Chain A
Amino acid sequence: MSRVDCHKLDQSFMDYLYEELAAGEMGELRAHLEACARCSDEDNRFRSLRRKVAHLRIVEPPEAVSAQLMREARSVRSGSGSGSPWRKAAYYATPLVAMAAALAIWAHARVRYDGWAIDGSPSTPEYRAPAQVPLDDAKVAKKAPAAEGDEAAEKRRTMTLAEDTSVAKGRRPEHKSGVVSKQAGGPAHGYGESRDIGGGVAADNRSAAPPPALAKPAESAQKDAAEPSVRSDNTTAQLEAMSRPGERVSAGGEGSDRENISTRPDQLYQQLITTTSSNCARVMDLVRQLENVSWGSRHPEQMKNAYQLRANCQTDEALANQDQENARRMQLDADNNDKRAKARRTKAKSHTQTSE
């Protein structure tokens, strides 16, 4: 005699019909159905319905929709669409970095130029003369070349990324901006004040090499550049690191400098090509990191090699083919870059000849 009655079957009937019960329970219910005509009839009617429903025609979705979706997926992948938070961070950080760099180059060149042109002395900022050329207040406030005590220099050296960030956002440290604006046109007073140059961007720390004619004597230039370069690298590396998932970013310090610099994309690539081909996990990881920072857009030749290395490691044939395809695409990009460069050179050469 079955332990299952009609009520129990009724309660579990949907699970039984769609076979979502354990084998034991299924067996018990089946035994009841064999013994109970009413329940068996009910079961047959539902199964008959399901056979009809199985004829429900499956309609093919239009290919055009799929094609459109694939285009969208590719554009999001290659462009500025959604992705990992790191990709978003990189997307938003890129214009910020570009703007900061442009301002830094402009501001630094102006400071160097003014310092050199005014007194002709070797232009460590401490030696700069007071502004003797007519300058409007705003311009003076931006330039403000002058000496600064050791304390201020030390403060500048130890300035943290947080300050950098606040400056980059346009928030000037009050004690600095106040001094500069009050003493505009007055005695020179501050190498350190050049932090405020360029509308609040940490211009002095993003120094670009001045034009040869304006360059400082080697020793003083090195002295001038040495400290800022540390922070410049630090800040740049941190901004770069925003686009690299899995990388720790700390607020400063030599340790963090080394850490960030050691995982720059070009160094990742060096690690990749020196990794033994049997270490596939490492290869996969490194290529993925390079992909995440879209390194291939600027270094297609190298990225082609990276994809080929990863293709050799893929166990899935489809993925290997995809990597080979990516490698071919990178090769095409590299070829196109070469052609463009060659065209530019030819054009420049013909232009020179014409002008001569």
Chain B
Amino acid sequence: MSRYQHGDVRAFELLLARHRKPVFNFILRFVGNRERAEDLLQETFLRVIKGGCSYQREARFTTWLYTIARNQCIDLSRRMKLRQTASLDAPSHCADADGPTLMESVADPDAAVDRRAADAELQGRLKTAIERLGEEQREVFLMRELLHLQFKEIAAITGVPENTVKSRMRYALEKLRDQLEDYRELARVAP
């Protein structure tokens, strides 16, 4: 980041290549809508570009970046509070109601059909379960599992004590476990 601050555009390209995927997936799982996730990804990195001089070298770049991304998500969530939010399981194109869902569109095309079906079911369960989490538990869970941040880093980003982060994480895991327990039992009874 400091190289980009000194005008090295190539450094920004490296930053983008390194972080765009985790940031995008965090945002996507947080807001549950691909179009909005793309917009927020763009907005997040635009803030990095335009706010480069506000970045303090003492802070880790990832902490700063994920704080921006998280704040974008929170802002959107507040704006969308009263609006209907499209589900990840809804058709991915508004104009095409019979089109593939987001989950189907991102499935590995080379996977065997049955495996793909089972995987899609697990993915769907996971998505639903994550969407059902409260916002506070969801962000902590996604930062921990998707971004692989440590609890203290999550605490710095969310601005809550580390112990609160851990308790939110535990609550999220317990809730997910309860929902996916059902899936495991279904899998057991299947031939």
Instruction: List A residues at the B interface (Cβ < 8 Å).
Output: 13-15, 18, 20, 45-46, 48-50, 52-53, 55-62, 65-66, 68-70, 72-74, 76-77, 81-85, 87, 288, 291-292, 318-319, 322
Contacts and interface: CB of A to CB of B under 8 A. Distances in A.
A306 B42 CA distance: 34
Interface stretch (B6-14, B63-71, B75-83, B131-139): B6-14
Nearest to A49: B177
Contact of B146 (A14, A18, A46, A56): A56
Interface string B112-125: 00000001001100
Given A45-B177, A65-B38, A70-B12, A83 B46 contact: no
Interface residues of B, number: 51
Contact of A14 (B7, B49, B169, B180): B169
Interface in B93-136: 102-103, 106-107, 119, 122-123, 126
Contacts of B122: 52, 55
A61 B41 contact: yes
B15 to A, nearest CB: 9
**Lowest 8 A-B CB distances belong to which pairs?**
A61-B24, A14-B166, A73-B12, A322-B10, A49-B177, A82-B50, A69-B45, A77-B9
B155 interface: no
A52 B126 contact: yes
A69 B49 contact: yes
B12 A57 contact: no
Nearest to A319: B10
A58 B29 CA distance: 10
**Which of A45, A46, A83, A318 has the most chain B CB atoms inside 10 A of its CB?**
A83
A232 to B, nearest CB: 30
Contacts of A318: 10, 14
A62 B38 contact: yes
B51 interface: yes
6 contacts: A15-B151, A56-B123, A61-B21, A66-B20, A81-B50, A82-B49
